[in-house]
Structure 1
Amino acid sequence: MKPLWQVPGWACQFIVWLIIGYGGCTTSLAQCSQTYSWVDWSAFQDNKAVGSILVDGKQIQVDVTTNFPLKPTSDVFAFSQFRSFSEYSSLSNKTTPRMVWSKDGKGEATICFSEPVTNPVLLIASLGGPDTTVNLTFSRSFVPLFQNRGAEQTSANKLSGTEGYAVVLFPGTFSCLTVESDQYEYYTNINFGIRPAAFPLALSTPQPGCNRSSVAATGGARYQWDGGQKPGSGANVFDQSGTYTVKATDDKGCVAYAMTTVTVPSPTEVRFGTYPPLCNGQSITVGPTVKTATNSVSYRWASGETTPTITVAKSGTYEVTVQDGGCVKTAAVTIAPARSPALKPDATVCLAGTSTTLEAGTTEGSMTYNWLSGNSKSQTLNVSQPGRYQVKVTNPLGCTAIRTIDVVTMPTVSLDRSRAICVGEETDLIPTVGGPASPVYHWSTGSVEPSIRVSEPGTYQLTVANGQCAATASLALTVNPLPAVLPDETVCRGKTLNAGSLEPSVSYKWENKGETTSEIAIQAEGIYRVAITNPMGCSVVRTITVSGICASHILAPTGFTPNGDGMNDVFAPAIVQGDVLELTVYNRWGVVVYSERTDRPTWDGTQYGQACPNGSYSYRLVYRTIRNDGDKVYNGTIVLLR
């Protein structure tokens, strides 16, 4: 707030009080005559003085009390210093209190009127000295009507003097005034008076608003405030608290002063406190702290509520608009989501033995646990019975999560590890199953039956399930081949009958007499059956029908090579459905080179141990047929080629 004398335009308005020739604002001087009323002092004793003053035709007592000896002077020291004051003629140069202030420290004087007075003035003469500055502090703010170069208003209620002279006005109505000095001096003359208002000047009661307060002055034609947003207007607006003075001038040029103390409400503050993160499923009440100068506060939340607080059940940002008279403030608070305990998903645990251990499913620390089924506060729970188990996990923020674990009896299943069958056979796969009463079967073939019948080679797998708990077993099935044999046939009756196997290492079982050889002697016509079994145990039953007597025929080569290479080295003719009796070989001159009577004659191409030459040889074969119808002779030739 600027002192009034520093306000632009002050000089021109002030000069209306000066005599003609002291300035250019002389228009209304003759029309306005300012009067004063001064105290007449009647008694001084020690640190007290008593006087009276005429106010509105009534004498009012004035008392002065000081903390230093108080004496009068017959007149005002150097009164001529006030001649330049425009209202000099209204000043009083009579007996005046002599203020020496205090030699022991701060000087203090209290001036009281017997009843409240309006617009008192104080004349101050010789405040301080040429080399001494004295500072006075008043209990009320003042307006300097006059001050020479030695006097200066340093704040709203402080006056500094270095041999200073001043006339100051205290706008308003009050009864007492206190003056304090910061040091001792020889003396200062002061006197009190009343400066009645030249015209009625009224100030409205300060009206607080949004970060401001307004005051309206009425009664004058022109106004000059020492602060505010509109200092040249009767209605002014202030954005800072303080004491403000308005100088009003009427149409006659008369000047009146008024002073008011303005309190600007503190700016409306809308603030949210700190809220903890919000757990899922929880709620919290939020509301701002509002600092305001009025009690007329309304609320409107972005969600529509008009209450000071709201209860929220989810995280997010919540905004409220607070209206305090003309002030509108918006604030927002963000409620962060609190992270619930991170648990593993719900699970099914298989009870394979007598018991199993369940885990809450978190690796985070500082958690509390409560098993709802099992009455345990531990992170784990040992169970021996199937059923549903739940654990409630709570983190330090109070957020909870529940994990459900279903304990299911684990089934057992077993199959032979391997099995072998023969081509054309089938086998039943029947598992051994333990555990729940009604498990579910899943074979690798797609069957859901408890057992299956199979004939193909491969691995067969069975899964037996009880919910999510399952056991698996498998069986490797081998299908072995049957022995390779000749087809069933009908033959004529010969000497022997061959089983007809096409592979070695087989065994035989003839149905008729239980023979185990590959050939048997034919006893009679009829049906013969032989079981041929390979080393893998697979058997084929071959049926041979013997019907009629077979015709005999000779088996003899047309040549042989007795060179010792192990191939075709001998000449050994044979007879089918008969027996060989004798073989005789002749050279081309008819000389016998080999002769032998046996059922298996064999010529190696020598005579008496000597190799016979290459060439053509004739032979005579004597044989008998199966019909036993006498000896028979067959003549042929054989080529020997070494």
Structure 2
Amino acid sequence: MYAVRYLFSLSLLFILSTAVQAQNVIFAQLQGSPVMNTGGWNLTGAAAIGDTPGDADGFSNELILIPPVNTTSGAVFYSQPIDPSVCTKWTVDFEFRIFDGNGADGIAFCFLTTPPVGFVVGAGVGIPAAATGLKVVFDTFDNGCGANPEVQLFNGTGYDECIAGIQKVNNTAGNLDFIRSNNYNSARIVYDNGFITVSINNVVWLNNINSPINFTGYMGFTSGSGAFNDRHSLRNVVIYAEMADADAGPDVAYCSGDSVQIGTADSVNYNYSWSPATGLSQTNISDPFVHLVNNGNTPITQVYTVTTTLANNPTACPQTDAVTVTVNPVPVAGFAFSVPQTCQGQNVGISYTGNMGPAATYAWNFDGGIVVSGVGQGPYQVHWPDTGMHTVTLTVAQYGCSSALFADSIRVYEVPTGNFSIPAEICIYDQATVTYTGTGSPTAAYTWNFDSGTIVSGSNEGPYDIQWSAPGNKILTLTVTENGCVSPLYQDTLIVRPKPTATFDADTQICDNANATLVYTGTASAAANYDWFFSGGSQVLSGAEPQQTGWTAAAGTYSLGLQVSEFGCISDTVQHNITVYPVPTATFTVTPEVCTSEAAIFTYTGTASAAAQYNWVTAPGVIQSGSGQGPLQVSYANAGNPQVILTVTENNCVSVPDTQLVVVHPIPTSDFNVAAGICAGQTSILSYTGTASPAAQYDWDFDGVQVVSGNGQGPYTLGDGTLDSFNISLQVTENNCVSPLTTHPFVVLPSPVVDFTAAPLIGCNPLPVQFTNNTTVQPGIRYEWSFGTGDSSTVSGPLYTYLHAGSFSVTLYAENAFGCSDQLTRSNYINVTPHPEAGFTVTSAVIDMDNPTVHIINEALYAETWFYDMGEGTTYKDPQPVHTFPETGEYLVHQIVSNSLGCTDTLSLLITVLPVTNVYIPNTFTPGYDGLNDVWRPSLSYITGYDLQVYDRWGGLVFRSQDIYQGWNGMHMASGKPVKEDSYVYVIRYTELAGDQKELRGFVNVLR
């Protein structure tokens, strides 16, 4: 049997080998080393590249679909779909490995309508239940539908080892154990027009299975584990398809105006179709030429797509490829000068005028020019140091394309000079000769500036004769222009000297004890020659200088003059007149002594006229009257010996100051201190506090106040001889200066007399008491109450509440504004009796009609009388009465207690009188069905919490009821059968309305 399979396999291998050779175009592949290339494949779930023990290297050149972990899954799918209705033949070669765990689901090759984006966890080989398409499964876990490992093929929705329609080869003979192995197994899946063949390690296991695919789908692999695990991995995955190989060639670039060839070598087995046709030499060959023109300054691109089909089957599985052709622009190297010609050292602007941007490469040659600014494209500023013609060239390159050389020329002329000569200085209105000494020719243009000078003669390059009407430093300038070249500005300075002036400032008048000051104010410098002259007086010259201070003269009028010469120029003569005045005197007389605020008289006795200026210094005195020459009256606010100074000014001549002293006596004060008053039986001290000395004269007026002792300045002791109000006054005289009169009031008062009453004086606590103050009212009087409890008050008539019982003494203290006081204490004045407090209990607040009597227990405090209202009309005055209630009900009992003062208190207590419980229990009954004495039921009234239990003679419970109205019919509660005729024990537990719990025991006889 194995031999037959072997021969069959060899023949099939030949067929498969031939098929693969026909399918020689690789549609997709998943391989590479040392790192697997997964480009174009999408990995999901646990899938990742890595390394397994299945090969000898340590490279990440294997795709691990799942690690040896329970309940996980992973997948990898190629991103490009394929249509089996067009691409009818394809082959998948790959190697797989399933090991490293304890055995799990296997690996599946899938051709699905949609690549999975989520995977089942556990069984299912990682195939989603909704996945539609072809699944070729290498299943290593037995789910009960055949011996595993198995090779399975299913085309439809979902997957299950036991699904209907699945085709498989199982491991019944043990010949598929190799599928789960530490080593890699090679597998091949061939699809040929709907027929599928699956082989492992070159042995066919599923042969020519008819399972056509009629949709465009995606190829890939899935894997999953459930309660067990293994490491599932792939390598060397190659998918071949019978299709033409489309190759548009590598992307290319060229310069505009050239051409480039695209595509690849021609094959007679293929048909070719290129698009678009723009710029192509042909569209139906494998390698056409492209000729596109780029007139811009940036590259342009064109994508060409070639579609390749098999010549013998043009509609089968067409392939496309694309190539990008870049057409680079050819640079233009033009530029322009900012001027047609230039001068030595003068900057010329050079601007690029071609078609390229700043990123291009610019090769400039400026023919000896010096670049001032500019790089790359420019613009540039360039100048040349040499005259003559200079040629500038430029080439531009970018994107591998270069421009033609561009050249242009410019002439450079010499720059003329503007030098000239002038004298160093001249005088105003003299003529200066200006002579040109530069390199300009007579035909050049000359621009002169003579700084406001007047041209007397001369034109163009000169020479010139120039005259100035104003002195100063004259700046002469010249620029020369020839052939458009302008010389640097040349300038020189000529000094024009002014004619000096002889003006001077002089005093128009002086005093006969002063020197005249003459200050030159003209235009000459200090180095000039100054010629002074005078018509009289005495002069000591300070040399030929511009200022003189040594001239003096007696009173009179004089003439002074000056003439100045400098730089050979002589000024006009200038004259001034001066008058000399005499100096006045400042003598005066003064009143020798005055009081403060009294006027002193100052009288002028000097030589000045009344029209002179009189400067009196009288401070701190204040002028009361008079001005100028006087006389003046001056008063002083403070005592002392102030100075008086007088200075007299006449004709700007100031006298020597005259000084006199004034004696100013202070006006004494009459201030004194005395108390505002005293009380009868007291004395008071009066003290003088003014400024006078003891030797002064003191005029006192005591207005009838008793003077006990004292004289003169004092101090004085004042007595209480007369009770009245007085005004004490004082006036003091010293150094003939009289003080103002000072008056103070003074009063002699009687001491206050304290008296008070209160109401009520006796009562129960808390006791509010109103106090009435009968004390005589005096100025500034204040009060202080003490209530005998530690509390106090300062109000005149307080209301005070005594909280506690007792006898309390009350004190009132009064004090007036002069410290006179009185005090009254009334002992045990307020008597507070304890307030009665009601209180009682009863022997029981809940009773019944079996014993409806209560005993009242008195617990009242401080009571002297008692009154009880029993709530049903009965009253008692005994402290502890005994009362019997006539019937059931609730009674509110009131206790009212009082004392001899009529103070009362009340307390109430609720007493409940309940009815008596009645009990009747039959001792015999005859259960049956004749309606006579059939049920035994105890009768109880006025109870709660009823519980009836009946026991037989052996202690067995035969009946129980908690319903007072339910009796016993003689049936056993458990069996439901009649009990036998006998005596039975009953136990009844209940609670009376008063709350007492009761229990009754007895016998009941059952007769039949």
Q: Which has the higher contact order (CA 8 A, sep 6+)?
A: 1
TM-score (norm 2): 0.19
TM-score (norm 1): 0.27
